[in-house]
């Protein structure tokens, strides 16, 4: 790969990819959400472990704790209103699914166990004002 190819690989190709890269760079203070009782200890511990895991570690986590993963992501989406944090959660979900499209079954299985549809958790996001959030949902 020549230098131009290396630059092209590192530069996002569209506005959504650029915004997603910006969102990924933000650090969420999960401890503050826990202290304010907006999230549970279980969700806090899981998300902190998941967001620092390597791709291989994430696969192990998802294999062993898929139900917890879906539960945590969906709980965070439902209980946090700060746009920047919601964008971060949706970007994490998108990254997880982009790595392996079969992982969507984690959300379908969780929804079935909770007698919901997987879409019911994401539909409220479509009414938000932020277009990036709407697109990611």
Quickly state the pLDDT bin for 5 (edges 50, 70, 90).
very low
What is the model's pLDDT at position 75? 95
Q: Give the predicted TM-score (pTM) of the model.
A: 0.86
- In a 13 Å sphere around the CA of 52, the CA atoms on its Cβ side amount to 8
Q: Read off the pLDDT band of 13 (50, 70, 90).
A: low
Half-sphere exposure of 1 (CA within 13 A, CB side): 8
In whole angstroms, what is the distance from residue 39 CA to residue 80 CA? 8
User: Which pair of tokens denotes residue 94?
Assistant: 């998108």
What digits encode the pLDDT tens for the residues 34-48? Answer: 999 999 999 999 999
Q: From CA 46, how far away is CA 13, in angstroms rounded?
A: 32
């Amino acid at each position: 790969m020549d230098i131009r190819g290396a630059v092209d690989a590192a530069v996002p190709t569209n506005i959504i990819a650029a915004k997603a890269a910006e969102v990924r760079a933000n650090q969420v203070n999960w401890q503050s959400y826990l202290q304010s009782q907006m999230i549970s200890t279980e969700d806090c511990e899981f998300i902190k472990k998941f967001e620092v895991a390597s791709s291989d570690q994430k696969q192990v986590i998802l294999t062993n704790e898929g139900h917890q993963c879906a539960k945590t992501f969906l709980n965070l989406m439902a209980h946090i209103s700060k746009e920047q944090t919601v964008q971060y959660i949706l970007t994490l979900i998108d990254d997880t699914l982009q790595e392996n499209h079969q992982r969507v079954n984690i959300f379908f299985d969780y929804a079935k166990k909770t007698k919901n549809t997987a879409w019911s958790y994401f539909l409220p996001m479509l009414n938000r004002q932020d277009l990036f959030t709407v697109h990611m949902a």
